[in-house]
Structure 1
Amino acid sequence: MSSPAEATPDLANDAIEQAQTIAIGLWEQAQLFVAGLLRPWSLYQVGIILGLWVAATVLARIFGPHLHNWMRTREGWPKWRMRFLVMMHRRLRLIFMVLLIWPVYLVMQEVTWPSRSYLIGVMASLATAWLFIAIITRLIGNAFLRGIVRYAAWTWVTLSILGLTEDTIQILDSAAVNMGEMRLSVWMVLQAIAVIALLMFLARFVSTTSASRIRSNKDISPSMQVLAVKVIQILLYGAAFFIGLRAVGVDLTGLAVLSGAIGVGLGFGLQKVVSNLVSGVIILLDKSIKPGDVISLGETFGWINSLGARYISITTRDGKEYLIPNEDLITGQVVNWSHSNEFVRLDIYFGTAYGDDPHQVRKVAIEAAKGVERVLSFKAPVCHIVGFGDSSVDYILRFWISDPTGGLTNIRGNVYLALWDAFQEHGISIPFPQREVKVLEGSELGTRALDRGNPGKAPQDGTAEEQGG
């Protein structure tokens, strides 16, 4: 009985021999194909195909500019329709090729032997399949992914039409690596990528549809909407990944060791990441903040755009977007200006001269605040004296607003401006500190001032004499 170490080289040798046999078979088929092309009825088919391709190129050159100019006049059309026209304009030569080759093939099927129109039929099928794939893959938004899917589909369709799929699968399957009891081949990897990509596309479509329906439901709070969408996405994408692996025959029991290694890595190197993820779930569950809330965190003030798995996005009044980790919102002190309701009270301070009647000042200040837009009238502003300063009577004016997302600095500025106009109208003055400096007689400054007033008097400290000498 042979040992596993002895069996591994035998399997590798068998795979190499199998690949060599398949390669020799393909080479023989290629030689037969080239020999068939050298026959007279094959050469004229190749000539017809080349002539049709030249004709399609000429027609594309003629009609392409006219189509482009016509597209430029189509203002107001939906974006999807314009994108479709752009795609058709780029594939105009292939479209003309399909329109020309099929009538020629059908006519030749009627007037000559089927074998003498075989190559034209193959080329017609290839051109039609390539055009169909180019149109369908245009629905994929990502350009890189669209290119991969398009070229992969073109390759597979070409092999299918030429009847080379079985040989290609055998070659790809012969290139394999044995890892314990699991055999991993290139064909299995390609299958897994294709199946997982398809399932991921379906999962994305389902999650997007579900997310739009959840967000349109007004009975669900914004934070719970975000949590529900995240949970659905995780479940769908996770299920798509594992179902795709099982569909191609990958043994998932080996992933237990990998999951254990990932757990150790999370415990040591990804503590902050896991902490932010858990904090994000806590924020969504306790509904402490939600998209649209106006919050203050340290020196950052703005409203929440979105709640992510690792951070939240806050946009300030100056257009800056801050990405704040979820852990900071859990451990730090956050001011939510619109947590339980959207009403926010603002305070501003000012002072007036002692000669002004404080009763009139309070009345004028309240009326001025009421006249400012965004200041709530049913929550009437109030004004109180808070102290007697060195040069003014100090007041506090309090008022309420219901739209903190509109900004706080601008509403304070508007109220201050209304106070200025109202005080100017009623003759109320806003004092500012003034200082008087008195020079005492006999001081050094006083002596110098007297000397400047009597320039003929000789200095008493001998300075002039020293300067003259």
Structure 2
Amino acid sequence: MNPDDLENATTAIITTIRTTLRTELTSVWLPLQLGDIALTALVAIAIAALVRRRFDLSAATMGWPAYLRLAIRALIDNFAVLIFILLIIVTRASLEASLSHARTYLLLVATNLATAWVVIAIVTSLIRNHFINRIVAVAAWTIAALSILGLLDATSAALDARGLMVGGIRVTPLLIIKTTALLLVAIWAASTTSNFLERRVQASSDLTPSVQVLLSKLIRIAMMAIAVVVVLSASGIDLSVLAVLTGAIGVGVGLGLQKMVSNFVSGIMLLADKSIKPGDVISIGDHFGWVTNMGTRYTSVDLKDGRELLVPNEDLVTQRVINWSYTSDRMQLQIKFSTSYDTPIGKTQAAAVEAALSVAQVLKEPAPSCHITAFGATALEYVLWAWISSASEGPTRVRSAMMIAMWDTFERQGVVIPKPGPSHIVLDKAP
């Protein structure tokens, strides 16, 4: 476009506005139309207020689907505008039918603008993101208003008149505005679609939790990639520029994004090989907890004490991690204790096993077992082995219940613990 195109486009806009104003301002129909619009607006507001007092339309739609309820609510919020449109249409039709040369241009413009307002309000009500909702509403209303006033082509030409060449692409204000608006709408559409598909995937009982998370991540990435490609194509941008972008990303990875990429790839690997999945009970160093969420950069482990451990995915791949529920959710508890030499060994073993079986979480098969481990200086040392049904039930609570049962059983059967020391628990899997 030549440098003079901006001036020509601006002149066209000014000429259109002057012509319209000159035609309307020199006519007696201008004040009549303005007065009719103002009076109709007041009547519409009064009727809408009266209807709202008589009928509760929001309560009548409470059981409807969410998106349909949002659209109906948008109609209710713009009920006065709908009445205004209807009254203006009737007034304009009456004037044109009764008078041969009636001037109703402003009435037509008011009807079209009000109709565009209602349509945009209904469409944007389906967008729950407030920021994107406002952006889409403003952009759509601006385009509709310019189109109704006949200024859209001239405004587009003015915004496209000046540009800057960047990497073989002519960047103009029109291109920036159009690409930004399309990108926001495309990202919202991709996010909404991916959320819907993720809910369907997570509702499938045939898929394991790790496969569900993996598919959800892949769906979201694919939706976002498709959104970007569609926006670039719709904006007229050559897709070959993606090669430059890919090269820039490669340079970024080489300069300092290795960890980010490594964590992302590690997260995909963990989900693909199912070594760790949401709901697993794992030990990392001195920490023991439950996997609650697996993201693209880190995995969240709930320590059940108000803290969540955020572990980089790379560490879960490269370091030693104990997964207590990898093949089975069962967990073995070991409780070490001691008794006096005066207490028979068989009696002690039977009492310990009986105490363990009295706890609901302890499995009867494989059955608990008690073994003597050492002849101490002042007491016999034992270890009680027992399996609990689920690691997710919390080994600390089960351990506490077992020790209380042992205390009560020993006291009832005369098993003497001569020198109570700090008991401890060892968690281990079956060989």
TM-score, with structure 2 as normaliser: 0.87
Residue number among 273, 294, 308 corresponding to 1:307 in the alignment: 294
Flag the 1:106–1:223 CA change in 2: closer, same or farther, 3 A.
same
Aligned to 2:161: 174
Aligned to 1:271: 258
Aligned to 2:350: 363
Residue-by-residue CA offset, 1:254-275 (whole Å, 9 max, x unaligned): 4434432321221121121122
Are the equivalent residues in 2 in contact too, given 1:280–1:310 (CA < 8 A)? yes
Flag the 1:355–1:105 CA change in 2: closer, same or farther, 3 A.
farther
Are the equivalent residues in 2 in contact too, given 1:317–1:407 (CA < 8 A)? no
Pairing 1:44–2:44 present: no
Cα distance in 2 for residues equivalent to 1:22 and 1:192:
21
325-334 vs 98-107, greater mean Cα deviation:
98-107
Pairing 1:108–2:95 present: yes
Residue-by-residue CA offset, 1:6-41 (whole Å, 9 max, x unaligned): xxxxx7xx32x2212221222222223223332211
Cα distance in 2 for residues equivalent to 1:347 and 1:114:
99
SS at match of 2:290: strand
Cα distance in 2 for residues equivalent to 1:93 and 1:430:
84
Residue number among 301, 319, 338 corresponding to 1:351 in the alignment: 338
- Identity among equivalent positions (%) equals 37
Amino acid at match of 1:414: A
SS at match of 1:116: coil
**Superposed counterparts of 1:383-394, under 5 Å:** 383-394=370-381
* Alpha-carbon distance, 1:251 to partner: 2.5
Structure having greater relative contact order (Cα 8 Å, sep ≥ 6):
2
Flag the 1:112–1:364 CA change in 2: closer, same or farther, 3 A.
farther
Residue-by-residue CA offset, 1:207-231 (whole Å, 9 max, x unaligned): 3444344434444433233323323
Flag the 1:231–1:180 CA change in 2: closer, same or farther, 3 A.
closer
Task: Identify the structure with the greater helix proportion.
Answer: 1
* Alpha-carbon distance, 1:374 to partner: 1.3
Aligned to 1:461: none
Amino acid at match of 2:316: L
Please list every run of 5 or more consecutive structure 2 residues that lacks an aligned counterpart in the other structure: 422-431
Are the equivalent residues in 2 in contact too, given 1:311–1:325 (CA < 8 A)? yes
Pairing 1:152–2:139 present: yes
Cα distance in 1 for residues equivalent to 2:400 and 2:146:
73
Residue-by-residue CA offset, 1:256-299 (whole Å, 9 max, x unaligned): 34432321221121121122122212212322111111111123
Cα distance in 1 for residues equivalent to 2:216 and 2:191:
11
273-282 vs 196-205, greater mean Cα deviation:
196-205
Flag the 1:240–1:379 CA change in 2: closer, same or farther, 3 A.
same
Are the equivalent residues in 1 in contact too, given 2:281–2:288 (CA < 8 A)? yes
**Superposed counterparts of 1:237-252, under 5 Å:** 237-252=224-239
Residue number among 354, 360, 375 corresponding to 1:373 in the alignment: 360
Figure out how many residues of one structure are paired with residues of the other and give that number: 420
Aligned to 1:320: 307
Q: Tell me how large the CA RMSD over aligned residues is.
A: 2.8
Residue-by-residue CA offset, 1:304-354 (whole Å, 9 max, x unaligned): 122211111222223433321101112222111100111111111222233
Cα distance in 2 for residues equivalent to 1:430 and 1:111:
110
Are the equivalent residues in 1 in contact too, given 2:135–2:181 (CA < 8 A)? no
When Rg is computed on C-alpha atoms for both structures, the one with the higher figure is 1
Aligned to 1:440: none
Flag the 1:330–1:181 CA change in 2: closer, same or farther, 3 A.
closer
